[in-house]
Structure 1
């Protein structure tokens, strides 16, 4: 039986209710250091200090990760692990955008009572709370009772009074549920011992094992997976049902691999690379384009006036050929993942640098190029020496305004390129 949980007060761990005194303590001390409070707060009357400290820590994390949530005084936070695993506001809002587009593209649905979202892995509810805005009906499913109790309290506080919270196992609920417009899953990437796991088959629930049943209940399914996965292999694992791949980064750190899976068969998916406000979409043929013609010719170093490092999502996607074609840049080497141009490219999706000098690994050349430096920021790309070893060899400390990129060109020469950030 699936339980829809009543919530007549402030829940905690599915059983304990948070007292008025504890709530008042949280409100009064939420800007203070949690460790100092733990040491010096004593035992205030009527206050459950363990719960209070966890709520303060959760609110402080949400200020950065989910500022919309932190702005609502009525929101309560789960244990640390759920906060650590939950999506950021940026990535949750991005999923909402995908959901709105999918609803608009569905001839049988609109943003009305006819559109339904079912999140089979509700968790803290961050993703659900944003995607639910695109639907007339939204169902949050979670097997952990304390997270359901927290969600039952939080959703009305966030303006989602129509959200239904169900305490159930994902697979059991799937078998009994009516058809939905979109089903969302974020399978847990930890094993029974709490250790991280990345293989889809090792996650819970088993999305691949449920695929036929999922597509029987919804024309489209969105799956959030580890950014550690090889997206090409992951697409193959879904046996031709992947319509879209979204590689999502924030602050140039790859956070999520999102798949949109549907009932139709696709020879290859469309690939979208996201890093903050930088969004590039590649067709299936572009995503697999080797683009050998974009490799810079040896001897053209005089034309290397600007150097570019693609953002983390593009690096993950490997869509270097269309990137070079679209922005008029050329790869230093086929495996360098660094690009150059004679003129600045203002909107390049990644970091841009002004090239000052280029040297081989010849000691005299290096001494001439680096003689005035004591510090430098060093990166290696397709180079036979790690950063730490190269730093020791060059006798440079970390930091400063100079940037050194060590790489290998099309002829196999090992180069060090001295740059400064482009304005």
Structure 2
């Protein structure tokens, strides 16, 4: 079956296949039946199906890779889902470049998202994956982007790769199985322990792990970095050889702002003050809320809730500030009355430490009016509460 899929993909690289893909570049979703019917009059049905499938994948990939690259690249369904988005891959490649890496082994390389960013940074890459179709796609991507001189694609078992002579190793193990996401790092494919052993064979290494990895599962001597993009946490990476002074790092893209630490005690809780700060998800995952609290002279609103509060407004890339107007015990009737009284028709609902679903609450509120408001459903000193306010910057 895999051989048949690979041959079907390689047919897209022929002149007829390329012509079909060019013709499908601007097709709209929902037109598949009409387009397929028309194209099958002059092309083999199997080639038409493969081209339409690839065009659909390219459209999905545009959000991760950018429209220009996605229009030239090739994908598999799993490749689109699991590949590193370009902004994150470029950040990691820049870190490797800064470390002086010139030659790197990319193990479990997938369709080549990381290899492309590394090659564009001027790093020679050996990209290894065991799936023949994935390897064929990755090889075609390197050629399509003019990077095949820097990327060597190899199809085989990553355990068979001789890592002598490489400055760095990058491992992106499979973290999904037949039942969905895998949370136990030793159930990754390959397991985290194998990846750590591979990392120790090169001067530098980075191992991609799930953002929810328990902190006690981070190997001794590793620097754990959590990366968010546009406010959404995308991944966690274990770095080796960086001689980091602090064990944890949070990096926020696209700005590239980075925060290190991980040794401060939790901030003290206190009453809600004029400003509420919502730390970025990467900061929370990296357990660096205390570092941000110190920077802002802030306290927690509750010992178990990662919202900070302070009397003064200070600029920080690591938390979003809100000016709070009301701090009340949670009550639907009271909230509806307040919003109606203030003519609020646009409500942004955020929650942390509350079982209430924002969309369900929005339906019950039925807001009307020209004004806007941000509502926080949370706990203050252990009590279910609602905080009303506005973005402060």
Report the TM-score range of the alignment, normalised by the length of the smaller protein.
Answer: 0.7 to 0.9
Q: 2:383 aligned with 1:405, yes or no?
A: no
State the partner residue of 2:108. Answer: 121
State the partner residue of 1:101. Answer: 98
Q: 2:267 aligned with 1:291, yes or no?
A: yes
State the partner residue of 1:107. Answer: none
Instruction: Name the CA distance, whole Å, in 1 between partners of 2:48 and 2:216.
Output: 47
State the partner residue of 1:419. Answer: 389
Tell me if the contact between 1:69 and 1:158 (Cα under 8 Å) persists in the aligned partners. no
Quote the offset at 1:340 in angstroms. Answer: 2.3
Instruction: Name the CA distance, whole Å, in 2 between partners of 1:196 and 1:165.
Output: 27
CA deviation profile, 1:9-53 (whole Å, cap 9, x unmatched): xx7556545432332222122121243123443114235111111
Indicate the larger mover: 87-96 or 372-381: 372-381
State the partner residue of 1:185. Answer: 171
CA deviation profile, 1:341-377 (whole Å, cap 9, x unmatched): 3332233523322222222347886576445256633
Q: 2:238 aligned with 1:277, yes or no?
A: no
State the partner residue of 2:17. Answer: 22
Tell me if the contact between 2:126 and 2:151 (Cα under 8 Å) persists in the aligned partners. yes
Quote the offset at 1:317 in angstroms. Answer: 2.0
CA deviation profile, 1:72-122 (whole Å, cap 9, x unmatched): x6x34122111111111111111111211222xxxxxx6xxxx31000111
State the partner residue of 1:49. Answer: 48
Q: 2:31 aligned with 1:61, yes or no?
A: no
Question: Any gaps of 5 or more consecutive residues in structure 2?
Answer: 1-5
State the partner residue of 1:218. Answer: 202
Q: Which residue of 202, 207, 217 maps to 2:192?
A: 207
Q: Which residue of 214, 222, 227 maps to 1:248?
A: 227
State the partner residue of 1:351. Answer: 320
Tell me if the contact between 2:262 and 2:287 (Cα under 8 Å) persists in the aligned partners. no
Q: 2:159 aligned with 1:171, yes or no?
A: yes
TM-score where L is the length of structure 2: 0.85
Quote the offset at 1:339 in angstroms. Answer: 2.0
Going from structure 1 to structure 2, the CA distance change for 1:320 and 1:405 (only over 3 Å counts) comes to same
State the partner residue of 1:80. Answer: 77
TM-score where L is the length of structure 1: 0.79
State the partner residue of 2:3. Answer: none
Going from structure 1 to structure 2, the CA distance change for 1:69 and 1:381 (only over 3 Å counts) comes to same
The within-5 A match list for 1:129-148 is: 129-134=116-121, 136-148=123-135
State the partner residue of 2:347. Answer: 376
Indicate the larger mover: 363-372 or 337-346: 363-372
Going from structure 1 to structure 2, the CA distance change for 1:167 and 1:332 (only over 3 Å counts) comes to same
3-state SS of paired residue (2:146): coil
Going from structure 1 to structure 2, the CA distance change for 1:228 and 1:69 (only over 3 Å counts) comes to farther
Tell me if the contact between 2:227 and 2:234 (Cα under 8 Å) persists in the aligned partners. yes
Quote the offset at 1:169 in angstroms. Answer: 0.5
Quote the offset at 1:395 in angstroms. Answer: 3.9
Instruction: Name the CA distance, whole Å, in 2 between partners of 1:368 and 1:381.
Output: 23
Going from structure 1 to structure 2, the CA distance change for 1:209 and 1:422 (only over 3 Å counts) comes to same
3-state SS of paired residue (1:290): coil
3-state SS of paired residue (2:23): helix
CA deviation profile, 1:175-230 (whole Å, cap 9, x unmatched): x3423111011001122x36332321111112313533441x31222111112322
Q: 2:234 aligned with 1:234, yes or no?
A: no
